[in-house]
Structure 1
Amino acid sequence: MTYAAALRIARADLAGRPVQTGLTALAIFAAATALVVTLALRQGLDDPFDAAQTATRGAHVSAYGDGDLSDLAHLPGVAASDDRPVKRAVTTLGGTPVSLGLEALPATSAPVDVPEVTDGRRPSAPGEALAERSFAKESNLRVGDTLRTDGRTMRITGFAVSTEQATYPRWRPGIVWTPGLTGPTTRAAIRLDDPEATDAFKQAALHAHPGLRFTDWHDVRDTITDQARTNTIIIGVNTLLALIAVGFTVATVISGRVLAQRREIGLLKAIGVTPRGVVGLLVAEYAALAVAAGILGLAAGTAIAPLLLKPMSNLLATPTPSAFQPLTLLASLALIVAAVALFAALPALRAGRLNTVDALALGRASLTGGASRAARVAAALHLPATGRLGVKDAFTSRARAALTIGALTMMVITLVAALSMEATYSRVIEDPALRAKPWDVRVSPGDGSTQDALQRVQAEPGIARATTLASFPVTTARGELQARAVGDGFQAFPYAVPDGRMFAGPGEAIAGRGFFDRLEAKLGDTVTLRADGKPFTVKLVGRHVEPDNDGEIVIFSRATVPNAPQGDVIADFTPGADGTKIAGDLKRRGVQAELVSAEVRQERADVRPIVYGSSALLVAVGLVNLLTTLLLVTRERARDFGLLKALGLTPRGILAVVNSGGAALGAIAIVLGIPVGIVLFRALMSAMSPSEGADIVGTPGPLALALIVPCVLAVTALASSLPARNAARASAAQVLRAE
């Protein structure tokens, strides 16, 4: 067969069935769109801190001190530096005093730490300002708002991200950049030849300028990464499921379409085309269709992706990545075309080996027992006659039915994952100990002492109990780790301890999974730690759930280390107390109060558009998948429908037959997808976060899972409507005459 002849055959085949060709192209288009969106989300999840530091040329060390610090640029190991004036100030937002860190806006050509504008524009005059994005979001600031502070008024022209410090309010003060700022305090932003050599640089800098304060990029990275960890896990699980669903969709549509062309394959063989030629022709035909539909899908995915990338970047405190990544787009197109070619070649090889006479026969030449078994199951369930016919037709091709069920099952699994996300967040909100924060509010004393803040909090109406919490580094035989010391009354603030028990007195401690792994320790071991150079020992009596620092944290009572830093104040509310009002009152009294539940609720609100957006995309893919399958079924069974109509089956009965087939496939997907989704979500959470995933994951309740049933049935009904109407409208006389 010549190339020209093959081209004519392929073109005629595609043009001769415009509806099936259009639906096949639509399925490829939907798969390509979903693939681009999910890959773009995956790229945004790969080390969010690294993405922000690259975009902003972030500093490895920030040194703060009075006077000229330009000589720090000449210290060994310094690759680049930039000095800028900084000033502490206070403004009032919503009736509450808020600390600001004013900083001179660096030039866009500065070698270090240039804020990346994400909304609005850069300031161009001294009366304008650029606000750090997480601070603006937490403070409900908008572009165009005015800040009054330090005897000046500044109009906010935009928001930006920076790795100068981690997200607000976990790191304070809120950063605001403005042109022309002057002041006695300088911040030297330093990039090093070796980013890991921060300790050596700080020692040399202190030798030159005693009294300097530093911010290390390791601390900023750890905070940003820890804060984004749970959200990253949930988004990652959802995108992984999306990629699997895309594969099922392409496999279902293409392989089912090829199997439906068995008669055409018989005609090709009858005119002398070899099995290899048949396979090559079909692969080329669908590969060409994949290229055309795939390019359109890539364009659509590039347009849709920013709708999910923007909330994800807000959540992870990173610049919004571009969805237009040429290499990613080319890889996506190549993946789609390769998948289409593979799923066209496999059934084409099977069909090419058929006897020519069997292939030319109408319908499937050698029916298996699959349909009859399906019919027997339907009869055992006492389904009406139309339901039995629909179930039998849906399973005429067992391979196609299996692929369709697989695609619908992935859709159900994705919906279960979204519900599991909600259950996980609800569980963490109800039990903040699962975030290693077994309190309602945390109060920073600011410029005052911890004891004064503790007394102020204890005197606040609505506070049931309060104590202190200090975080500080400790040195172990395996390097530096983090420790927390809880003050008197720690028994009222129990951590979540799945293994062992909570510490009961001085000398006992609990630790995260990472701490045990790092020290190769086990419950009951006694370890020696050093704080401020002084050794002390603790007995490990429990493992607590710890999301921060990869679980490399140890917690004990303050009496274990009496000379520990003062730290913050933690407190619980009395039952029924208005936590938001109490936190607001504390802020107005000059201390910074952070509600634990507010932080988690905000994270949930941020992650919802991403998860639900990608889930909706997969529901659309599943809809196209089932629609294509049912159209193929009705086409193959056209003669049977004609006979049934000739025997008196009404158009409403035809509708019931087709709808029953789609509902049967959807019901099986529900039965399989719900338990698999629960188990898979838990397994992926555990695999992606060994330190906390298995401990915090929640399981949707029966009522929540029940919502999946009408959702899937609605999808199957919608997918069944078009093929059912086509079959019902077809004239029995015309169908049978064509046969």
Structure 2
Amino acid sequence: MRATLRWAHSDLRTHRGEALFLVLATAGIVASLLLATALFGYATNPWQRVFAQARGAHVWLHTDRAADAGELAALDGVEAVAGPYPTASATVAVRGTRASVELRGTAERPEVGRPLLSAGHWIDPADPDGVVLESRLARALLAQPGDTLALPGTPRTLTVLGIADSPERRYRPGEQPGLVWAPPAAVPDPGGQVIGLRLTDPGETDYAVQRAVTVLGAGAIGQVSTWEQARAEAQGDNRLLGQVLGLFGLGALLAAGLAVHGAIGTRIRGHLRDISVLKAIGFTPGQVVRVFLLLHLAYALLGAVAAAALTQAFGSRFPGRLGDAVGVWQGLPGHTVALVAVPACAVLFIGATTGLAAWRAGRVPPVPVPRPAAARGGGLSGAARGALGLRVLRVPVRSRVRGRGARGAGGSGVRGADGPGAPAPAKTGVPDPGEAAGVRELEVRVPPALVLGWHKAFARRPRSLAAVARLTLPLLLIVVAMSAWTTIDRFHTRPEQVGLPTALTVRADAGADDRGTRALLERDPRVAAAYPGVEVAALVPGQTATIALRGLGTREEPYPYALAEGRRAHGPDEAVAGQGLLDLLDVQVGDWVRMTVGDRPQILHIVGRSIEPENAGRVVSTSLDTLRENDPGLTPTLYQLRLRPGADPEEVAARLAASGPEGLEVHAVANPADGLSPLRGVVLGLIAVLALVGLIELLTTIGGTVREGERDLLALKAIGLSPRQITGVTVTATGCTTLAAVLLAAALGLPLAHWLIDAQGASSGIGAGIARAPSPGLLAAVGAAAVLGAAALAAVPSARAARRRLADTLSAVA
């Protein structure tokens, strides 16, 4: 054991830099996996906790006032019923901020769907104007208990008594109204009612909705929301962040394992004599294997423990969502298990990848075997031998004749044409008396360092291909990360290409003058176009879910949808749909779909697939004229505004809200990339970790190339190569290996990134077609930086090896 420890200590002192890089790379990888675990827990568990504590309803039905909740309670599979509660749509405002809300009359705190108070207190029967706000709505309004809410257009006011968490669908401006619990007296003219169903089997949600629609009638139900929709919205972008972190963490773990495997293999090849000495003095093969295996397991364990400790101590201090996620994750029951299991699995994986290379060390014979005179595959190929004598440039040179004879413009790389074996002088017609009769040719040969370096890089094919593959993996993941960054950036710089052609949404009161409103909007100098429209909830065939049916623009002024497939809707009954709706209905572009709006059927022909960032892609869009054919009295209730380049949406929104009538509500269109802002920092951190792994592999490749070049040093000096040229051989070999890895990473990484991003877009409902690759200039710059950096790293050790004394060289190859 003492000899083992002394050997390990000597190895650590000799390779301090490599050991530090292995520890840092392992720490970065384990930290990424722990953050991914925290984000997954943050995405799901808080909602699950609220749902369990509130005894949340699995289905919420918005019906008319005549629907009987008693009939629903008698359905099979219904455990309990919440309500019915009278509801009314309204707009509330506080400190200049407005929001669409649903006033829900609840005299007492319900047992099913029970709101969990986080601030203030519940409704007081003695205060008829006291209300409780859902927490997300309260954050949007910046409201606190004690604030007064105004109802624009009416003299009424509401007082905020409390703020509560709810497992129902969250407030989303322009999509989902906020929830306000109020006394029944505060809902004087309810437009409908809401009923919640808690099921014995949550997996039977669709069947329960079908039974409810059958019992109450399709015309009685206006909207259906389920617990799956609420959970998906609660997970939102956190789930995507967790998926990205997990994917890149696993990829980096694989790359690090391969890099460690390559480092051990290269170290074993460079220390065959030392291993033989160890065995000669009594080390068994098992002891030799354990020396290498335990040493690298110690590096991995140190990095994993450091990552776990730093994440536990400082993870909650990360800015933004990452810090919140770690803080919530640390309070969950499975936190301790994950904190131990993730680093342990990473260490075991790295240990497994190093086991094979360490096993090879145990097979080294105790008596050094003389190296063959020529390594297998080490001889120069015919192409390499031809390249050494290749003439790549010939320039005819005519020398002026002065006096007797003509002297050649000789020099390095120049051979006179009048020497032995020279070609015949060129015939030029009338001779020039001031010009020599012979023609000289300038020859430029390929530098031998380039030929020998290229040959060294790819001479041993299995070993060379393995080195290229290990270096390709981190570079490939960097290309994927850069593609993710470019795609996110496109949502901000080119929103019209990802389904966000407009910047502002304006909502008007029912019955507002359409012409007057459009004139007011188009009068603003920063507004390029105003598209009138309506948005209603519709039941899909089978009546198991609610989708958004939109009528935007007219046939004369069509709405500029971002299409990923098919064509625009021009004719009657034509529409475009999001990926989420196509998946929900299991239809394709070209099919006809039937839906129900209230008690009126609507049949549309899907002619294109649009990129829909809203409502999980469950949107079918047509023109306002098409909806008017089914309902002639339909009037626009919203306007989508496309602004001129350079216009500030907030400034335009404030100006329109100030100059418009009381019922005019203006807000910015939600950009899904706004919630992905932490992903940029995550991508940068992942690129740094992957670059560190690639650096480890590059140092391993350089070290192996330098060691293998020691036996060729005498031969290279014997054929006349200078130390600078010998250095160029190693630098060229390293550069060629890196260049091959860069080209392979670009060739494989770009299609892989496109597929991964589009698959994520399709699963989220936005749809495929949002992926964008980095610019060719950026890819070229990253590739050039990798190649030049590799050459620069190889220059110092190769120059040191090229200037070694002959005695040292003889001892190394003996």
TM-score, scaled to structure 2: 0.68
Kept in 2, the 8 Å contact 1:57–1:113? The answer is no
1:335 and 2:400 matched:
no
* Aligned amino acid, residue 537 of structure 2: F
1:473 and 2:543 matched:
no
- 5 Å-filtered alignment, 1:681-720, equals 681-690=753-762, 692=766, 694-713=768-787, 715-716=789-790, 719-720=793-794
Show the counterpart of 1:42: 36
Residues 46 and 393 of structure 1, relative CA distance in 2, 3 Å threshold: same
Pick from 352, 357, 360 the counterpart of residue 347 of structure 1: 357
Structure 1 residue 530, shift from structure 2 partner:
2.0
Equivalent pairs counted in the alignment come to 701
Show the counterpart of 2:699: 627
> Secondary structure of 1:338's partner?
helix
Structure 1 residue 684, shift from structure 2 partner:
1.6
* Aligned amino acid, residue 441 of structure 1: L
Cα deviation 1:175-233 (Å, max 9, x = unaligned): 999xxx99976999998765576969999xx9xxx999998644433445566787677
* Aligned amino acid, residue 342 of structure 2: S
Show the counterpart of 1:409: 472
Residues 446 and 89 of structure 1, relative CA distance in 2, 3 Å threshold: closer
Structure 1 residue 668, shift from structure 2 partner:
1.9
Show the counterpart of 2:566: 500
- 5 Å-filtered alignment, 1:205-604, equals 217-224=227-234, 238-239=248-249, 241-270=251-280, 278-279=288-289, 282-300=292-310, 310-312=320-322, 321-322=329-330, 325-350=335-360, 352-353=362-363, 357-359=367-369, 361=370, 367-369=375-377, 372=380, 384-385=447-448, 401-429=464-492, 432=495, 435-445=498-508, 451=514, 456-463=520-527, 464-477=529-542, 479-489=544-554, 491-548=557-614, 551-561=617-627, 562-563=630-631, 567-574=637-644, 577-588=647-658, 589=660, 591-596=664-669, 599-600=671-672, 602-603=674-675
User: How far apart, in 2, do the equivalents of 1:320 and 1:585 lie?
Assistant: 40
* Aligned amino acid, residue 526 of structure 2: G
Kept in 1, the 8 Å contact 2:453–2:728? The answer is yes
Q: Which structure features the higher share of helix residues?
A: 1
Cα deviation 1:255-280 (Å, max 9, x = unaligned): 33334333334345556766566545
Show the counterpart of 2:6: 12
* Aligned amino acid, residue 77 of structure 1: E
Cα deviation 1:384-411 (Å, max 9, x = unaligned): 4555666566668766654443343233
Kept in 2, the 8 Å contact 1:643–1:736? The answer is no
* Aligned amino acid, residue 609 of structure 2: R
User: How far apart, in 2, do the equivalents of 1:131 and 1:446 lie?
Assistant: 23
* Aligned amino acid, residue 783 of structure 2: V
Identical aligned pairs, as a percentage? 26
Show the counterpart of 1:166: 170
Show the counterpart of 2:679: 607
Kept in 1, the 8 Å contact 2:23–2:303? The answer is yes
Show the counterpart of 2:430: none
Cα deviation 1:140-194 (Å, max 9, x = unaligned): x89x9x988779999x9xx9987555365456778999xxx99976999998765
Kept in 1, the 8 Å contact 2:537–2:547? The answer is yes
Residues 306 and 400 of structure 1, relative CA distance in 2, 3 Å threshold: farther
Structure 1 residue 681, shift from structure 2 partner:
0.3
Residues 357 and 133 of structure 1, relative CA distance in 2, 3 Å threshold: farther
User: How far apart, in 2, do the equivalents of 1:436 and 1:466 lie?
Assistant: 15
More deviation, 473-482/304-313: 304-313
Structure 1 residue 615, shift from structure 2 partner:
1.3
* Aligned amino acid, residue 408 of structure 1: L
The structure number with the bigger radius of gyration is 2
Structure 1 residue 114, shift from structure 2 partner:
4.6
* Aligned amino acid, residue 547 of structure 2: Q
Residues 523 and 332 of structure 1, relative CA distance in 2, 3 Å threshold: closer
Show the counterpart of 1:53: 47
User: How far apart, in 2, do the equivalents of 1:386 and 1:378 lie?
Assistant: 11
Structure 1 residue 617, shift from structure 2 partner:
2.0
More deviation, 512-521/7-16: 512-521
Residues 557 and 111 of structure 1, relative CA distance in 2, 3 Å threshold: closer
More deviation, 498-507/285-294: 285-294
Residues 162 and 481 of structure 1, relative CA distance in 2, 3 Å threshold: closer
* Aligned amino acid, residue 706 of structure 1: A
User: How far apart, in 2, do the equivalents of 1:547 and 1:318 lie?
Assistant: 27
User: How far apart, in 1, do the equivalents of 2:140 and 2:2 lie?
Assistant: 63
More deviation, 508-517/527-536: 508-517
Structure 1 residue 713, shift from structure 2 partner:
3.9
Gaps of 5+ in 2: 63-68, 122-131, 151-156, 188-193, 393-444
Residues 438 and 231 of structure 1, relative CA distance in 2, 3 Å threshold: farther
Residues 592 and 641 of structure 1, relative CA distance in 2, 3 Å threshold: farther
Gaps of 5+ in 1: 1-6, 65-70, 117-121, 125-129
Residues 102 and 9 of structure 1, relative CA distance in 2, 3 Å threshold: farther
Question: Which one has more relative contact order, counting CA pairs under 8 Å at least 6 apart?
Answer: 1
Q: CA-atom RMSD, angstroms?
A: 5.8
Structure 1 residue 554, shift from structure 2 partner:
2.7
Structure 1 residue 111, shift from structure 2 partner:
10
Residues 575 and 342 of structure 1, relative CA distance in 2, 3 Å threshold: closer
Kept in 2, the 8 Å contact 1:685–1:693? The answer is no
- 5 Å-filtered alignment, 1:636-647, equals 637=709
* Aligned amino acid, residue 170 of structure 2: A
1:670 and 2:752 matched:
no
User: How far apart, in 1, do the equivalents of 2:164 and 2:265 lie?
Assistant: 49
Kept in 2, the 8 Å contact 1:238–1:611? The answer is no
Residues 344 and 29 of structure 1, relative CA distance in 2, 3 Å threshold: same
User: How far apart, in 1, do the equivalents of 2:41 and 2:509 lie?
Assistant: 32
TM-score, scaled to structure 1: 0.73
User: How far apart, in 2, do the equivalents of 1:574 and 1:49 lie?
Assistant: 37
